Structure 1
Amino acid sequence: MIEKIKSIKNIAVFKNFNWDSEVKDKEGNIRDFKKINIIYGRNYSGKTTLSRIIRALETGYISDKYETPECCISISGSNDISQENFDSHNKTIRVFNEDFIKENLKFIFDPEENIQPFAILGSDNAKIEAEIKLLNGKLGLNEEDNKTGLFLELENIKNAYGTAVKVHNTAIDSLTGQLSNKATNNPNGIKYQSQKFGDQNYTITKLKDEIAIVKQEDFKPISDDEKINLETILNEKAKDIIPGLTELVLSFNTITKTSKDLITRKIGQSNKIEDLLKNAVLNRWVKEGKDLHKNKLEKCAFCDNEIGDERWKELDKHFDEESDKLESEIIAHLKKIATEESLISSTSGIKRASFYSKFHSEVDDLTALFDKALKDYESSLKSLKSQLNQRKEDILNEKKFEEATDCSSQIISLRSQFNQLRNDSNEYSEKLSSEQKKAKDNLRLREIYDFIDLIEYDKQMSNIGTLKVSLDQEKNKKNAKQKEVDDILIEIASKQRELKDESKGADKVNEYLNNYFGHDFLTLKAIEFDDEETGNVQYRFEVHRDNKKAYHLSLGETSLIAFCYFMAKLQDIDTKTKKPIIWIDDPISSLDSNHIFFIYSLINTQIFGEEEFEQLFISTHNLNFLKYLKRLPGARAKTKCEQFTLERIDDHSTIALMPSYIWEYVTEFNYLFNQIYKCSTIDRVDDNNYTTFYNFGNNARKFLEIFLYYKYPDSSDDSTKMKKFFGDDDIPAVLTDRINNEYSHLSGVFERGATIVEVPEMHKAAKLILEKIKKDTDQYESLLKSIGVELITEEE
């Protein structure tokens, strides 16, 4: 479907129209064409101009009378169409406007001319010879250095295709050269760096295959650190076998159990000196003094007093054999702990240098864990030693044992892991060559990954893809143009063998004339004649009245025949079954109200009844016809139908959404009232609203004529009715009469046409008219509603 006419410049009254800035709803949303589109515009507002733009999509060209015309049309499923390529779409377009009439019904303008014949499906005739001539003209000459028509177009397209091939091949050759250099160039190609990348028979085919690998989503190139490690692996030689670690036996459980016993062991409390029990320092001091004095001194070296036998007995009972034994055991156990500490301090893991570089990271991790475990083990031993020394200093009083962390199993486990890593390293010696091959593969893929980034491989491939699309497009154009030429040649041959009866085309027109309009006295006849050039029987259409060729047709008769001809032509062999986009431009010109209804009926039954159209546009200046159009099937469905108006301001026009009051209340009376209401509400005149004042005279005159005719349906003149309406005060009536006559007819004051209008007078007159109408509240409120305005009461 046609979505929008995006822009129009320098085409008749459309000077610089832009759809997206003009065709918006109240919320500012851009609205597009729909399946059914109704366009209302007063005369000279640009309806026929729009139809000519759309007809250019049908004919492939627009009138050369327009100076530098520009337009852009958006069609769904196709690139935008401009004045440069009207025929670059695949839609079937059928437009009814005055250009269609001039081209197909020449008798209207020259009675000696005929109507262009056409064939309904299944019937054809003399039109074929004219078509053959037209087709030959379209083909042109096919002489060397003197080609014309389609043969010239085909040659130009072939040249363009050759250029596209060359550009595409150049891009491919450039990328291929870069890939070839990377794969096989000496000395920097992958092939010549086998010591690093591992393949002495590397080719560009292998490079392309591996580019596909590194471009896969799940591919992850090696990091810079991994790259350094792999390069180190390539330089490694086989290492000596790493010997196993000596067995390490730790006694933490035994040491802990013994320590707990010694620290918590109780000493008998009978015959003890209470003061010494309470003071460990004093107790130690007395014990050392006893050892220094007994059997050595008779007097105390500290106080110089004699130590009696009784005192010696008390001291012997206090420092008995049980406490001495405990102290001896603590001292002995502390020596065992010291031995365990020496064992731990001399324990070590495996030297890093003994391993291959690939294991260095694991060795470093294990070494760190092992060193920490040893320190934790030493710390646990120190904790036990501290508790034992505290008990030794206070031998008579048992202590609460504080558990120490046992790290021995972790140390053993880590040593086991060291051994496993040693085994892995020893086994690695046997598969070093295969690991180095893997390293070369990974380094090569990383090199390719960096290479395609450096040469912007994706960008080049995208460009090649774009050039391929252009190449294919040029190829398709070439093939299509070749096919077009071939098809025309076939068609010419076919048409030369076949004639079609075109009399049925005339019968279809007569069917519409008779069935819808009752014009059985006016008919279209297919007249047979012999073509002098070809000798074949041909037909031409003539309008007959009373079995004679008709002359001096009225405007109404020509309008009816023209529209019936168009409707019948929608059934011809070039249109039927092709779901055309149909544009009908103001089909009711010079027709009375009965014929207007019949035109509507014909559209309703033949177009909507068949439903064989993709999209429909109907434009009109006639509000009565617009009233019928809103009855069309789907016209009330917002998803199927859109309504537009053409608004002309001075010498330029624009397209806008149709105001709801025009669509909902389709009478000229409502429209005229709306113009007067607008004039009464505008305080400041600008480029957007000055036409409301410019046209006020005509609008007010016609409104008052209609309004006063029904208000005073007698034979009194307009001035009398004006005075009745405005009351005894002559000033409003005189003022209004002056505006209505002078500004609408330039009544006796022709110089008025050379000056701008007096806006205050218009504004005042509009308000006076509304004030008088307001006296009938019901009518005034109804008129306001008809133009989408709510009545504001004084309370509000």
Structure 2
Amino acid sequence: MSGEIKKIDTIRNMAVFQDFRWASSVRDEGNNVAEFKKINILYGRNYSGKTTLSRILRAMETGELSDKFENPSFVVTFVDGTQTTQSTPTAHDKKIRVFNEDFVRDNLRFITNPDDSIEPFAILGDDNNKIEKEIEALESELGSKEEGKETGLYAQRVKASREHAVSKDALNKAQGSLDNQLKTKSTDKKIGIRYKPERFGNQNYDIRDIKSDIGKVQNANYQPPTDEKLAQYEKLITEKTLQPISPFHVPSLNTSTLANKAEALVTKKISESNKIDELVKDAVLNRWVNEGRAHHKNKRDNCAFCDNPITEDRWTKLEKHFDEESEKLEKDIDAVIARIDAEKDTVSSALSIDKSSFYSRFHNKLDELDKTLRNAISKYEKSLDAMTAQLKARKNDILNQKSFKRPDDASDDLVTAWNSYDAIRKESDSFSNSLSTEQTKAKQALRLKEISDYLVTIRYQELLSSIEDLESKHNKSEQEKNRIEEYIRQKEGLVASKKRELNDEEKGAKKVNDYLNNFFGHQFLSLEAKKEKIPGEDSRRIRFEVIRDGKKAYHLSEGECSLIAFCYFMAKLEDVETKGNQTIIWIDDPISSLDANHIFFVYSLINAEIVKPKKYVQLFISTHNLDFLKYLKRISNDYKGKGEKREKIREFFLVERSGDSSRICLMPGYLKNYVTEFNYLFHQIYKCAIAESIDDGNYHEFYNFGNNARKFLEIYLYYRYPNGIDGDDKLLKFFGEDSIPAIFTDRVNNEYSHLCGGFERGASPIEVPEMKIAAQQIISKIKEDTAQYSALLQSIGVKNDLLDTVFGTAQEGQ
């Protein structure tokens, strides 16, 4: 189950655990890292670190770790992958209950101070059947919350959580898919906006930016730029800062002055005296004659046309006809016409528009202005041409006065065009200061258009609608999940509230007494729940007291204290905070100062009240006592899982100390499999007997040989010769007529067990040959009882006896 502890990964700076690492220490025969199981038995000698392990679990229960440790640290991993450390020991949702000396000190203070009471606790009372039925109904509605077997509301919660997870996964996938497409457009090296800063700006563009721009594009006020605008933006982003354009000075226009002069000349009257009447009446003839006069005067005497002589009288008449006044008028007309022509040249060449000097954004304006300017020039020139035509007409008929038609004044349009140009010039020059800002705006416009087109390509609206549908489903599933969870919380709170109505501290004391009486036969000791008035208040408080013969008990033996403490712990597992919860239970050496009978009863209590009814999610029991370990081996070893996944729910561990440091490892087979210590001792002697040499793997067998052999022979000879004779006599009787093996064996046992014969023996190296010979002699003698010897070999897992070969070789060597 996910609520079980998988392993204690590391322990540092905690008593004898200085730098323990589970992964390197707890490995099976195949060198695989082992794990805790549902039931875990830990054996270790005193001071090996068992209580330190229990303190780690105690910290996970209470949130407090002894301040006597300097810089302690531990990491505990659960099957579900969550971890707990010394920094946050209660950062888990598991119910943990630990029995160790800290528990005893915190709850049973009377052990250290006889005047103190025992911390009271309440278990469910049985006085209100109605409330119990209500609790039963609520719990039935809630159902079972065992993982994989949920019913009732808990099953609904599992279903709602599963549907919520599915909807969340679908939403995340859809959103992730869209985000990936947006990320591609943002940062992809081929199509990403980030890698085209010269066109779109922002070389740090990412998915956050594109989401912001999408918001702008999706705004109802957004209008994509026209193709013309896009072309302008394309030009604008490539432009460099231009030099200022020279100001245009508007030339002075003389149209009014020229019109006045032309009018005066066209309408001027010529004197009629001394005029040749025929020429006055015929302007063409008059012009012909005047031109011929210029060809003949002072050049020919005869007429070039008719070859007749030209008389002085004729020359006199012609000179009077073509007098100075006429000639002056002609000259004045020619002068004005020349001025008109000059005016036309001035106007036509006054302004030449060079678009390359302007930013591209003004080119359209300049194109329009150019058309307007040409029209204005043309109109102005037509006005001047009209004056020229009238002046030429008068010149051709110089003698006759003409009327003058004043042309329209076209100068205003021309001046307006010139002024517009200058305004555009100023605007273009001013634009240099804002070019960077305008280019930024142009790049943004191009970027938004790019994004707008991309949204169409990926069908953004369809994806968005799909995501909105999935989000709506997710929200509904989340609301349903939250609703069920809140409803369950309410129901659980109601159950807890009603259970509090049934709390009964007296029943807690009674439960302890039941254990004392029924399991241990202690009818003289009991707990009583006593009510005391709280000073200054109307309410009363409950306190537990140990009673012997109707009076408060003092001077309890260590065994009695141990019994009461453990019965108290067992009863407390039934309190309102623990009962009904799947609990991790750690029991640390509960048999201190107890005799053999009580040790068995402690085992019986654990088996009957915890193991068989399965009132635990995980169980840990540690001990230093081999008798207690013998009983613990009887604890159920059911299987969980099926087929290849079928595995035992029980595991044995050894807490082993070497010098100042301890470690946890899997319990060796000889210790896990032996029924009694007698079998273990036989195995140690047997291994000494067949050992070929001492090494790091078996040195402890020789180091402990003296104690092991002495204890084994005491047990073996007691049952073989139960008539009370002395030890030496038993050895002589055991080895028969040959007294040498008996004396030799006794010497080895005593000198290496008790250092008999001088303490210098303890400082000397172990003499392996002596021990091996003694071991072989003991085993050889036991072997005479074939049936017993065969059973002993079978109990230690030996199928092929190696003693004959080894012993035979040893005899030959002697």
Q: TM-score range by the shorter chain?
A: 0.5 to 0.7
Q: 1:528 aligns with which of 528, 531, 549?
A: 531
How many Å apart are 1:73 and its aligned residue? Answer: 1.5
Alignment partners' CA distance in 1, 2:649 and 2:672: 15
C-alpha contact (below 8 Å) 1:120/1:571 kept by paired residues: yes
Give the TM-score normalised by the residue count of structure 1. 0.53
**2:684 paired with 1:675:** yes
Q: Which residue of 2 aligns with 1:69?
A: 72
Q: What do the CA deviations read for 1:704-761 (whole angstroms, capped 9, x no partner)?
A: 1111222333332111222233344444323321221122222352343444433333
Q: Are residue 646 (structure 1) and residue 659 (structure 2) matched?
A: no
How far off its partner does 1:76 sit?
2.0
Question: Match for 2:591: what amino acid?
Answer: I
| 8 Å CA contact retained: 2:98, 2:586 | yes
**For the Cα contact (< 8 Å) 1:543–1:550, is it kept in 2?**
yes
The answer for the alignment partner of 1:371 in structure 2 is none
Query: 1:35-50 residue pairs with structure 2 within 5 A?
Result: 35-50=38-53
1:87 maps onto 2:90 in alignment = yes
1:429-455 superposed Cα distances (whole Å, 9 cap, x missing partner): xxxxxxxx9xx9899869x99xxxxxx
Whole-angstrom CA distance in 1 between matches of 2:88 and 2:651: 27
Does the CA-based 8 Å contact 1:4-1:75 persist in structure 2? yes
Q: 1:183, 1:536 → 2: CA distance?
A: 76
Q: Does 1:539 align with 2:548?
A: no
1:73/1:119 CA distance change after superposition, 3 Å: same
- Equivalent residue, structure 2, for 1:548: 551
Q: Taking structure 2 as the reference length, what is the TM-score of the superposition?
A: 0.52
Which amino acid counterpart does residue 545 of structure 1 have in structure 2? R
3-state SS of 1:37 partner: strand
Write the letter of the residue equivalent to 1:633: S
With over 3 angstroms needed to count, the CA separation of the structure-2 counterparts of 1:777 and 1:18, relative to structure 1, is farther
How far residue 96 of structure 1 moved from its aligned partner, in angstroms, is 0.8
Amino acid at match of 1:715: G
Q: Give 1:508's aligned residue.
A: 511
Letter in 1 for 2:677: E
Compute the displacement of 1:680 (Å): 3.1
Q: Secondary structure in 2 aligned to 1:584?
A: strand
Give the one of 671, 688, 701 matched to 1:692.
701
User: Structure 1: how far apart are the matches of 2:772 and 2:42?
Assistant: 30
Q: Indicate the residue corresponding to 1:788 in structure 2.
A: 797
Please give the residue correspondences for 1:234-273 in structure 2 after superposition, counting only pairs within 5 Å: none
Which of 591, 594, 605 is 1:591 aligned to?
594
8 Å contact from structure 2 (residues 503, 576) kept in 1 = no
1:459-484 per-residue CA deviation (whole Å, 9 max, x = no partner) reads xxxxxxxxxxxxxxxxxxxxxxxxxx
Distance 1:68 1:755, change over 3 A: farther
Cα distance in 2 for residues equivalent to 1:712 and 1:734: 18
Correspondence for 1:725 among 723, 734, 737? 734
1:660–1:788: 8 Å Cα contact kept in structure 2?
no
- Cα deviation 1:297-338 (Å, max 9, x = unaligned): xxxxxxxxxxxxxxxxxxxxxxxxxxxxxxxxxxxxxxxxxx
Q: Rate the CA distance shift 1:184–1:600 in 2: closer, same or farther, 3 A.
A: closer
Q: Does 1:574 align with 2:583?
A: no
Take 1:742 and 1:574, find their aligned partners in 2: how far apart are those partners? Answer: 57
Give 2:105's aligned residue.
Answer: 102
> Tell me, what secondary structure is at the counterpart of 2:123?
coil
Cα deviation for residue 687 of structure 1 reads: 4.6
Which one-letter code corresponds to 1:615 in the other structure? Q
The residue correspondences of 1:358-507 to structure 2 (distance < 5 A) are: 501-507=504-510
Cα deviation, 1:500-547, whole Å, max 9, x if unaligned, reads: 642222122112222222323211011211222655311111000111
Q: Distance in 2 between matches of 1:35 and 1:185?
A: 59
- Provide the residue aligned with 2:35 in structure 1: 32
1:56 Cα deviation from its structure 2 partner? 1.8
Partner in structure 2 of residue 775 of structure 1 = 784
**Correspondence for 1:625:** 628
Partner of 1:9: 12
Q: Distance in 1 between matches of 2:564 and 2:53?
A: 23
Q: Is 1:710 matched with 2:708?
A: no
Which residue is 1:22 aligned to? Answer: 25
Q: What RMSD, in angstroms, separates the aligned Cα atoms of the two structures? A: 4.2
In structure 2, what residue type is equivalent to 1:710?
Y
Q: What is the rounded CA distance, in whole Å, between the counterparts of 1:738 and 1:550 in structure 2? A: 50
Q: Is 1:764–2:773 an aligned residue pair?
A: yes
Please report how far the alpha carbon of residue 787 of structure 1 lies from its aligned counterpart in structure 2 after TM superposition. 1.3
Q: 1:552-604 CA distances to partner (integer Å, 9 max, x unpaired)?
A: 11222211111110011111122122211001112222223332232222222
Unpaired segments of 5 or more residues in structure 2?
128-178, 204-208, 218-233, 235-445, 459-489, 641-646, 807-814
CA contact (8 A) 1:624 1:666 kept: no
Question: Does the CA-based 8 Å contact 2:186-2:210 persist in structure 1?
Answer: no
Displacement after TM superposition at 1:179 (Å): 5.8
SS at match of 1:508: helix
3-state SS, counterpart of residue 716 of structure 2: helix
Gaps of 5+ in 1: 125-171, 194-201, 211-233, 235-436, 450-486
Displacement after TM superposition at 1:46 (Å) = 2.6
Structure 2 residue identity aligned to 1:622:
N
3-state SS of paired residue (1:763): helix
Query: Does the residue aligned with 2:13 lie in a helix, a strand or coil?
Result: strand
1:304 equivalent in structure 2:
none
C-alpha distance in structure 2 between counterparts of 1:732 and 1:649, whole Å: 34
- For 2:624, the aligned partner's letter is H
Which residue of structure 2 aligns with residue 113 of structure 1?
116
Deviation at residue 667 of structure 1 after TM alignment: 0.3
CA contact (8 A) 1:184 1:203 kept: no
Q: Distance in 2 between matches of 1:608 and 1:713?
A: 39
Structure 1 residue 605 displacement after superposition: 2.2
Kindly state the Cα deviation for residue 188 of structure 1 after the two structures are TM-superposed.
Answer: 3.5
Partner of 1:8, secondary structure, is: strand
- Inter-partner Cα distance in structure 1 for 2:704 and 2:187: 78
Equivalent position amino acid for 2:689 in 1: S
Q: How many residue pairs end up in the alignment?
A: 469
Partner of 1:701: 710
Rate the CA distance shift 1:724–1:600 in 2: closer, same or farther, 3 A.
same
Residues 148-167 of structure 1: pairs in structure 2 closer than 5 A: none
Q: Determine if contact 1:634/1:641 at 8 Å carries over to the other structure.
A: yes
Structure 2 CA distance for aligned equivalents of residues 595 and 720 of structure 1: 35
Aligned partner letter, 2:531: E
Counterpart of 1:89 in 2: which secondary structure?
coil
Whether the aligned pair in 2 keeps the contact of 1:78 and 1:89 (CA below 8 Å) is no
Determine the C-alpha separation between the residues in 1 that align with 2:47 and 2:750. 23
Q: 1:185 to 1:786 in 2, by over 3 A?
A: closer
- Alignment deviations for residues 145-199 of structure 1 (CA, whole Å, 9 cap, x no partner): xxxxxxxxxxxxxxxxxxxxxxxxxxx9xx99x9699769996454999xxxxxx
After TM superposition, give the deviation of residue 16 of structure 1 in Å. Answer: 3.2
